[in-house]
Structure 1
Amino acid sequence: MLSEQNVNLTTPTLNFTTPIPGGGRGGGCPPVGIQLEGVILPPVLTIDVILGLLGNIVALWIFCFKLKAWNPNNLFLFNLVIADFLALVSLPLRIDALLRGHWVFGDGLCRINLFLMFSNRSASIALMTVVAIYRYFKVVHPHHRFNRMTKRQAAFVSVFVWLLVISPRVPMLAYNHIKNSGNTTQCFFFTSYKEASRAIIILVGMHRILTVLEFIIPMAMLLFCSIRISSFLKERQMGKPDKVRKAMRVCAVIVAVFMVCFLPTTVTTIGVWVIRSYRPWDCTSFYTFTQLTIVSLGLNFLNSALDPIVYVFSSSMFRKALFSSLPRALCCRQDTGDGENAASSSGSQSTTQQELKSMRADRESEAM
């Protein structure tokens, strides 16, 4: 399909356990059949597209028409919406190819399709990491000059992130990934070392390295930011316990989305890599990791459907704009609870003091 794991969409399921003589490094095992891929991926990717489009269309509407003020955090989240849309618009072509059993959209769309899908993974990871780092400085280092970032500077950071994640994927656009098998045409990123040119082999190797590094490094940064925010708030006892829990919920949501969507693909990619390098004769293990990689692709694109949850937890401005747009019947309960809390905490405070306190709370919630 769209990965390098010897996948052939038209080959019946094969159960070879011995290598083909002379197949060469990584080419000793026959192509993997499509039963698991053809059965699991179409419904999973369809769910990803439906949920992702619904959530991201609402998010885009909020960002474009309901958000009254922008800050760097919201700008980073908006770029995350764009990255999700790039992946979502490319998945229907892949679903169609799986259902038909062959690719009918030509070489140009094949290159663009593969480029958009792989770029989305990199962009989503990078932008979620930037959001976590921004929150880390807001909470742990509130006086750092990083927190005085302007919207213009945030835009430059966003452009730099896009260039950083897209540049390694641009070579995908330079090579033909169309494979002809009998009367059918397939759109592969890679089929086997035996059939590939040296340039494709290098491209696949770079892809594998990026797949691992772009998970391990951001994951380490996300865990560091989460642990530091938690320990800082607990040590300083800043605000009430509910504020500490709120800050940790934001970090937990980002880490959870990150782990669910990207960890399986990273683990299976490493598994295939190790088997190809050190156990090229072990076709059984190769098939097992290849099939697991195929299944994990569905989770890989689930991030586009789960990212709207990140927007709600990561931006109080987005959250307020969303709640204000919901039908009043859905918001009345929350409004009542807020009113009771305000009444119980007002006491002898003046109106001016309450307004100042509200403004300060808003800044704290945005930082968290």
Structure 2
Amino acid sequence: MSMSADLESLNHESTTFDYSDYYSDSPTLYHPCNDVDLMNFGRVFLPTLYSLVCIVGFLGNGLVVCLLVKHRNHTTLTDICLFNLAFSDLVFLLTLPFYAHYSMINHWIFGDFMCRFMSTCHYTGYFSSVFFMVVMTLDRYVVIVHIHRAAGYRTLRAGVVLSMSIWLLSLGVSLPGFIFSKVTDNFNYSSCSQDLENSTWNIYNIIVTNIVGLVIPLLVMVVCYSKIIPTLMNMRSVKRHRAVKLIVFLVAAFFFLWVPFNICSFLYFLKSTYISPNECHTDLKLSLIVTETFAYTHCCLNPIIYAFVGQKFMKRALQLLRKWVPGNRTLSTRDLTDSSFRKSSVSSRSSDMIATIII
């Protein structure tokens, strides 16, 4: 995650020029970096996109948390994972208003502790969200492919222990973000970023973000769902086609939203560190800003992908919305669920129950 680093890089390079090459005896192709246009673009683009992501993300994930808390007496392992996934996204979204303000005025006004704290929340929310998606994938794999082994471990106690372990792991992975983040005074502005000169942090950040945050989760999804889809297709369930479509959408959303950013991040790390450290890489910086911002929209899709496609969850959501908007009687949850349940009774109940784990 390099959002703060990108802003610091832009701020630094837009105000500090290196003219040493102009006075050297040998000709050079390098020239001072001027990222003013890129900064002006970021001042408009980042706050706008961050604001949209925050509004949609808080509404969707907040509704998921409210529903799961309201129906906590009927909590299952899947509900525990959904709650933690939504809460992870909320922790991640909490940081975006601060970074939106920072990118808009080019000045960090919240102090050193908040700089470190926001960086930790940013990383913790991201990694915990990814880890809970991996857990839900593994849970679906065991329930569908190895159904006879599922009952022994899918308990509420196991869900609580697993959730606490994932949060501790996420916090441990994110702790370097707290250590290496700092506020730096640069003439007339203050910047909040990680220590860009520390090679240990740069290597750690790129490895953890790309390997732990993308490659391993993506491999788990591909392997597990490649086993789940054939099993679903062999079931006599009216829901199997819908479940397969959801799986394809789930993996595709994760891949197309996060892979472009991670590729750009890795290329920027290589070029700025090893290949051509003296170049400006303006186009690559622009790609980083755009791909990173669109990757953040994944936390807005999580409630739709993992929660609102389920009939039981949708029924509860509609009931809650009808209570919040008493005059709205156009949505009949009773008709929706009754017709759906009557339709599903045509096929095997066990097959429908397993397919419901997906949707």
1:36-87 Cα deviation digits (max 9, x unpaired): 3222111000101111111112111111114551111111111111111111
**Which of 230, 253, 257 does residue 261 from structure 1 map onto?**
257
**1:270 matched to which residue of 2?**
266
Alignment of structure 1 residues 80-99 onto 2, 5 Å: 80-99=85-104
Instruction: Give the AA of the match of 1:230.
Output: I
- Shift in CA distance, 146/126, structure 1 to aligned 2, threshold 3 Å: farther
Query: Contact 2:89–2:299 at 8 Å: present in 1 too?
Result: yes
Query: Contact 1:260–1:299 at 8 Å: present in 2 too?
Result: no
Secondary structure of 1:177's match? strand
Instruction: Give the AA of the match of 1:293.
Output: L
Query: Structure 1 residue 4 and structure 2 residue 5: aligned?
Result: yes
Shift, 1:204, TM fit = 2.0
1:308-366 Cα deviation digits (max 9, x unpaired): 112325755433322443437444388268438738978xxxxxxx9xx76x4763343
Query: Contact 2:65–2:83 at 8 Å: present in 1 too?
Result: yes
Moved more, 4-13 or 54-63: 4-13
Alignment of structure 1 residues 199-218 onto 2, 5 Å: 200-213=198-211, 214-218=213-217
Distance in 1, Cα, partners of 2:104 & 2:155: 47
Shift, 1:141, TM fit = 1.0
**1:363 matched to which residue of 2?**
353
**2:27 matched to which residue of 1?**
none
Alignment of structure 1 residues 178-327 onto 2, 5 Å: 178-191=183-196, 196=197, 200-213=198-211, 214-234=213-233, 237-240=234-237, 242-280=238-276, 283=279, 286-312=281-307, 315-327=310-322
Alignment of structure 1 residues 27-38 onto 2, 5 Å: 30=33, 32-33=35-36, 34-38=39-43
Distance in 2, Cα, partners of 1:344 & 1:43: 43
**Which of 149, 153, 157 does residue 154 from structure 2 map onto?**
149
**2:61 matched to which residue of 1?**
56
- Shift in CA distance, 300/343, structure 1 to aligned 2, threshold 3 Å: closer
- Shift in CA distance, 54/247, structure 1 to aligned 2, threshold 3 Å: same
Distance in 2, Cα, partners of 1:21 & 1:228: 63
Query: Contact 1:128–1:254 at 8 Å: present in 2 too?
Result: no
**2:108 matched to which residue of 1?**
103
- Shift in CA distance, 163/41, structure 1 to aligned 2, threshold 3 Å: same
Distance in 2, Cα, partners of 1:62 & 1:232: 31
1:254-281 Cα deviation digits (max 9, x unpaired): 2133124321221111111221344215
- Shift in CA distance, 363/107, structure 1 to aligned 2, threshold 3 Å: same
Shift, 1:31, TM fit = 7.5
Distance in 2, Cα, partners of 1:167 & 1:119: 9
Distance in 2, Cα, partners of 1:260 & 1:319: 26
Secondary structure of 2:191's match? strand
Normalised to the residue count of structure 2, the TM-score between the two structures is 0.83
Secondary structure of 1:283's match? coil
- Shift in CA distance, 365/323, structure 1 to aligned 2, threshold 3 Å: farther
Query: Contact 2:50–2:96 at 8 Å: present in 1 too?
Result: yes
Structure 1, unaligned stretches of length 5 or more? 23-27, 347-353
Distance in 2, Cα, partners of 1:326 & 1:138: 32
Task: Please report the RMSD computed on the Cα atoms of aligned residues, expressed in angstroms.
Answer: 3.4
Structure 1 residue runs of 4 or more that deviate by more than 6 Å after TM superposition: 13-16, 18-22, 343-346
Identity, % of aligned pairs? Answer: 21
Distance in 2, Cα, partners of 1:340 & 1:154: 29
Instruction: Give the AA of the match of 2:236.
Output: G
Identify the structure with bigger relative contact order (alpha carbons < 8 Å, sequence gap 6+): 1
